[in-house]
Chain A
Amino acid sequence: MTVAFRNASMVYGAAQQAEIFRIRLKHPLLARLHKDVGQLDRMSQETQDELEWGELVRRFKRYRFLTAATPLVFNHPFLWDDRANTVLKRALHAGSSAYPSFRPLIENLQAVMQDLQLVPSSPLWDAIQEHGMPTGTGNVTKDKWAILLADTRSTGPVEALAAASQRLDVATAPQLQDDFSYTGLYVLGSTRWFPGYCFTAARAQTIQIIQFEWALDNPTFPAAFLPNQKTYRPVKASEVKSNNHNAAAGIEEEPEMLQIDAPEIDWGNAFKAGYRAASGVGGEVEDVPGHLYVLEGGWGVWLEDSPSASVLTIRLRETGELDLQRLPVRQLRSGAFVLLRTGGGGDLIVPVADRMLGNDRKRLRNLQTEWKQKFRKQVRLTWSTEVACKRLSSLGAVRAKPSNVRNWMALRTIRPDSDQDFKAVLEFSGLQQRAQEFFDAMAQIDNAHRRAGHQIGQMILNTVSRTDTTPLRRQGVQVFEAPQGEGGSFTAYRLLERSQDTGMVTPHRLAHIFPLED
């Protein structure tokens, strides 16, 4: 607890002393590229030809964002890789023959890109080195600076760049929710890309905002409460820096102001990827409604939209410890960490529960399949699910709604929660004579599932709590390997956003991650 108290003191110390500075960099060549990308974006929106231009525009917008948000050299493969080059070449050949008006612009972009590839270092990295970047070993615990990145996926390449200095860390915004403090923080890019607390609950005594001169940004941090009219934390000074590469470029000095946005989630493509991942495995099972969740690291996952659906989550405490919590899916919020099984295949509960059922497993699972199949057959034989619900209600069911009936038919559920519902379902399926046999068997399976859930929870907790969770805080993704033979691996992902719309998904694909891009 003394450590937590010391950490809290450190946070208040930083909050008291924090000063914010703004450095604006000139770089005409990059300014031209950023402007041209904006023009390409506008033109492609006018053509509304997503097929032809969509990927090229996305690649260029990502490049524009990353050149303003990371201190990586412009020809770094993380920013622009061979695949991007292929897309560019394809657009020059195929796209511009269909849309000749695009050709000059794309050729311009290609020429600027070629010039940028020759620039030996990133202007953002140069600025970091000029503005107090700690070098040497020094006092690693007391004098530590960090580069704050808006893009969590770029932490790996930037860490490699910063590795030369033991006193230079790489951080992302969620890390700044913890109780600790840096000596200084380099915030790269527009302040709009970061949550307000990065500046108003500063975790550093000095904050250097480094951005390009043409970035349309107004770094003001207003007071939270009504009577406090003044700005809560003003920017102390703003300076414009030129560097050597500008002279060589020989381009105009007054660039047009541009608002550069962080790449947004492309829900259309995300749904396409989601349906692609969910296709071909449905079989006999009826689809269920689900929301698509976008996870950190370019992954997506379908989670069922139902009041009974839940998912395992990790809560990181300020003390560095963590809690495992099963949360209803509908309570999930952006920023939560969901823990999904990513190695070993499928749901772990069933095999563990089967092991617990021992020799009786086959008989019990056969009984479970038997009532499900007969029930599904009877539901299909009725005119509609609504009619089946009415019939079930007349037989004494208390919760016969279409969504519940779909749940009861699903293979992953054991039986309806209520005895009255289960009795009505068995009668509806023509199994009333053997009702007691089914009640007893499902009780055994249910019991085994509960014990399996508890055992798996313990196993995951043991695995997760033994692991340093710094990567999870920083990158929003972390793989946890269970001991050999205990269930493969689990991955915790930070949840970025949930789709507004639902889709119909086969239950087998729920909680299975898929890449959002090819």
Chain B
Amino acid sequence: MLVAVPNKDSLVPKLLAGSPVYKATPLPEWAVFFTDLGGLIASESNSHLPLTAVLALPTRTFAAVFTALGVVYKRRTLAPESQRHFEKLWVSDPGVTVRFRQGTTEHRGALSGTITRDGMRHLIITSSGTGTAYVPETMAHEIISVGVTHKRPQRTRLLRIQDPWLARMLEGCDEGEYLFHNRHDCLVVGYDSGLHEEAKLQLHLLDGPRQYISGNIECLLRIKRWQAGSKTYSSDILPYAAGQEEAGLELARRFHVVVYDGSGPYLRWNRHLGSQHHIVLLDRTEHSFSEGVVAVNNACMRRSGEFVRLPFPVPRGIETMLFRRPT
């Protein structure tokens, strides 16, 4: 069954690539597509069945970093304090009244219990409109008010950001909250060194006539593995070749979206990262492409609840498949 997911506009329409000195041009269609896809999957509620988006690409170069950019950018406005918010809900007594969002609709319901599934904690909410919803801790921000005992945390802390590019990218969200808290937006499973190079790509924003401000993707992604010292993070990399112990799977499972950068990373780590939304980037020129295709097709046949159609056009040369996975 084909189900359309809500449409939305491109996330980063003002970004420019190339050299601002010689010629800065709008992001090409393919890069916009990846950011849009990342944004779309980022906005998926976890109370829905987890979504898998698989792409067959002519090249993987920059695909993962632009997808991660889309995920992080879309989720920049979400309160990182939702973790504390979740902790409060986790210990609340059953019966507490809550209001929560599912897609674009708001529901009233009651907290009826808690459960841990696939290593992730979920709140069980019953409502007359939706029946029973399982809300994982990564989506606790969707619960917009709680009974009379406590409210969703207020965001009051403001901060002047030193990096003008980042400040512009974070317009519309509480910058202080963004920069001073750990977030679990996007986990990229892939080849560390190549991704690090790609994340250094400079992008520009027009700041008046012939005036540009520039910054790089890494600055917004705030990847834990590459952050020095005690800096906070929004996303992380799980290296393809990491051992089971160093992978930090408990933390890895807390990220809202997992991007698999290639067949190898998907084949190796997919079974360890079960309940999140997945984006699988398969490069047609790789030796293991066919292996990856067989694996995703099998996963689709075995587990698909429904196919999903992308609400925006897919550039020619990219093949896509989106499906929900029953948990």
Our verdict on whether A and B bind, yes or no, reads yes
Q: List A contacts of B307 (CB < 8 A).
A: 227
* Residue A18 CB within 8 A of the other chain: yes
Tell yes or no: A225 within 8 A of B by CB.
Answer: yes
With A12-B30, A225-B296, A225-B321 given, is the CB distance from A333 to B58 under 8 Å? no
Which of A2-10, A157-165, A238-246 lies at the interface with chain B?
A: A2-10
Set of chain A residues within 8 Å of B282, measured between Cβ atoms: 224
B292's nearest neighbour on chain A, judged by CB, is A224
Residues of A within 8 A of B317 (CB): 12, 14-16, 18, 201-202
A287 interface residue per 8 A CB criterion: no
Is the CB–CB distance between B287 and A4 below 8 Å? Answer: no
| New contact pairs (10) apart from A16-B315, A317-B194, CB-CB < 8 Å | A4-B61, A4-B198, A5-B17, A6-B18, A12-B317, A16-B317, A17-B316, A196-B284, A201-B283, A318-B59
A5 engages B62 (CB within 8 Å):
yes
Cβ of A2 and Cβ of B202 under 8 Å apart?
yes
Contacting residue for A7 out of B61, B315, B319, CB 8 A: B61
The verdict on A118 contacting chain B, using a C-beta distance below 8 Å, is no
Q: Mark B265-293, 1 if CB is under 8 A from A, else 0.
A: 00000000000000000111111010001
Cα distance, A177 to B284, chains bound together (Å): 9
Interface, chain A (partner B; CB < 8 A):
1-2, 4-9, 11-18, 176-177, 179, 196-197, 200-203, 223-228, 232, 317-319, 333-335
- Contacting B319 at CB < 8 Å: which of A6, A177, A179, A232? A232
**Cross-chain contact A334 with B287 (CB below 8 angstroms):** yes
A225 touches B61 (CB 8 A): no
Q: In the complex where A1-B201, A9-B30 touch, is A15 in contact with B287 (Cβ < 8 A)?
A: no
Q: In the bound complex, do residue A228 and residue B319 qualify as a contact, i.e. CB atoms below 8 Å apart?
A: yes
Inter-chain contact B316/A223, CB cutoff 8 Å: no
Residues of chain B from 1 to 34 with CB closer than 8 A to chain A in the complex = 17-19, 28-30
B197 contacts across to A, CB distance below 8 A: 1, 4, 319
Smallest CB–CB gap between A297 and chain B, Å?
20
B301 contacts A226, CB within 8 Å? yes
Chain B residues positioned under 8 Å from A197 (CB to CB) = 58, 284-285, 289
**Which of chain B's residues have a CB closer than 8 A to the CB of A334?**
287
29 contacts between A and B (CB under 8 A): A1-B198, A1-B200, A2-B18, A4-B61, A5-B201, A7-B61, A8-B30, A8-B59, A8-B61, A8-B62, A9-B30, A11-B58, A11-B59, A12-B315, A15-B58, A15-B317, A197-B284, A197-B285, A201-B59, A201-B283, A201-B317, A202-B317, A223-B319, A225-B320, A226-B300, A226-B321, A228-B319, A318-B61, A335-B287
B307 to chain A, nearest CB (A): 5
* Nearest chain A CB to B312 CB, angstrom units: 16
For B320, the chain A residues whose CB sits under 8 A away are 225
List residues of chain B with CB within 8 A of the CB of A2.
Answer: 18-19, 201-202
A-B CB proximity, top 4 nearest = A15-B317, A225-B321, A201-B58, A201-B284
Number of interface residues of B (CB under 8 A): 39
Alpha-carbon distance between A176 and B58 when the two chains are bound, in angstroms? 10
A245 to chain B, nearest CB (A): 38
The secondary-structure label for the interface of chain B is mixed
User: Cβ of B285 and Cβ of A176 under 8 Å apart?
Assistant: yes
How far is B58's CA from A179's CA once the two chains are assembled, in angstroms?
9
- CB closest residue in chain A, given B289: A197
Could you count the A-B residue pairs with CB atoms below 8 Å apart for me: how many are there? 104
The 0/1 profile, CB within 8 Å of A marked 1, for residues 197-236 of chain B is: 1101110000000000000000000000000000000000
For residue B62, which residue of chain A has the nearest CB?
A: A8
Residues of A within 8 A of B17 (CB): 5
Considering the chains assembled together, what is the distance between the CA atoms of A7 and B62 in angstroms?
A: 11
Whether, in the assembled complex, B318 has its beta carbon less than 8 Å from a beta carbon of chain A, the answer is yes
**B28, A9: Cβ atoms closer than 8 Å:** yes
Specify the chain B residue showing the minimal Cβ separation from A195. Answer: B285
Contact across chains for A12 and B319 when beta carbons are under 8 A apart? no
**Shortest distance between the CB of A336 and any CB in chain B (Å):** 9
Q: CB distance A202 to B58 under 8 Å? A: yes
Minimum Cβ distance to chain A for residue B278 (Å): 14
CB distance from A396 to the nearest CB of B (A): 30
B297 at interface (Cβ–Cβ under 8 A)? yes
How far apart are B323's CB and chain A's nearest CB, in angstroms?
8
Q: Does B110 contact A (CB under 8 A)?
A: no
Are B301 and A201 in contact (CB-based, < 8 A)?
no
How far is B197's CA from A14's CA once the two chains are assembled, in angstroms? 24
B148 to chain A, nearest CB (A): 48
Please tell me if the beta carbons of A225 and B316 are within 8 angstroms of each other in the complex: no
Q: Is A225 touching B56 in the complex (CB atoms < 8 A)? A: yes
A225 vs B198: C-alpha distance when bound (angstroms):
28
Query: Contacts of B286 on A, CB cut-off 8 Å?
Result: 177
Q: Would you give the 0/1 interface string for B301-324, flagging 1 where the beta carbon is closer than 8 Å to chain A?
A: 100000100000001111111000
Please judge, given known A-B contacts A4-B61, A8-B61, whether A225 and B285 are in contact too, CB under 8 Å: no
Which A residues are CB-close (under 8 A) to B297? 225-226
Chain A: minimal CB distance from B313 (Å): 11
Which residues of the partner chain B approach A224 to less than 8 Å between Cβ atoms? 56, 282, 284, 293, 319
Task: Report the minimal beta-carbon distance from A470 to chain B, rounded to whole angstroms.
Answer: 18
User: How far is it, in angstroms, between the C-alpha of A14 and the C-alpha of B58 when the chains are bound?
Assistant: 9
Q: Which residues of B151-183 have CB atoms within 8 Å of chain A's CB atoms? A: none
A7 to B28, CA, bound (A): 12
Interface membership of chain B positions 224-262, coded 1 if the CB is closer than 8 angstroms to chain A and 0 otherwise? 000000000000000000000000000000000000000
Inter-chain CA distance A13–B317, complex, in Å, is 9
Are B289 and A15 in contact, CB atoms less than 8 angstroms apart?
A: no
Q: Are B28 and A12 in contact (CB under 8 A)?
A: yes
CB of B189 within 8 A of chain A?
A: no
Given the complex, which residues of B lie within 8 Å of A200, measured CB to CB?
Answer: 56, 58, 284
**B54 interface residue (CB < 8 Å to A):** yes
CB distance from A142 to the nearest CB of B (A): 16
> Which A residues touch B200, using CB under 8 A?
1
A39 CB to closest chain B CB (Å) equals 35
Complexed CA–CA distance, A22 and B28 (Å): 31
A16 CA / B57 CA spacing, docked (Å) = 11
| Chain A residues, CB < 8 A from B30 | 8-9, 12
Residues of chain B within 8 A of A201, CB atoms compared = 57-59, 283-285, 317
User: What CA separation (Å) do A171 and B271 show in the bound complex?
Assistant: 39
Q: Which residues of B contact A319 (CB under 8 A)?
A: 197
Name the CB-closest residue of B to A8. Answer: B61
Residues of A within 8 A of B287 (CB): 333-335
Residues of B within 8 A of A13 (CB): 28
Q: Evaluate contact between A12 and B58: CB separation under 8 angstroms.
A: yes
**Centre residue among B58, B197, B319 by max chain A CB count within 10 A:** B58
A176 to B284, CA, bound (A): 11
Identity of the chain B residue whose Cβ is nearest the Cβ of A232 in the assembled complex: B319
Alpha-carbon separation in the docked complex, A2 to B25 (Å): 13
Residues of A within 8 A of B28 (CB): 9, 12-13
B54: A residues at CB distance < 8 A: 225
Cβ A227 vs Cβ B321 within 8 A? yes
In the complex, which of the residues A9, A176, A202, A228 contacts B321, with contact meaning CB atoms closer than 8 Å? A228
Pair A177/B321 contact, Cβ less than 8 Å: no
Minimum C-beta distance from A233 to chain B (A)? 9
Q: A2 vs B59: C-alpha distance in the bound complex, in angstroms?
A: 16
Q: How far is the CA of A319 from the CA of B191 in the complex (A)?
A: 14
Q: Nearest chain A CB to B279's CB is how many angstroms away? A: 14
What separation, in Å, do the CA atoms of A179 and B284 have in the docked complex? 12
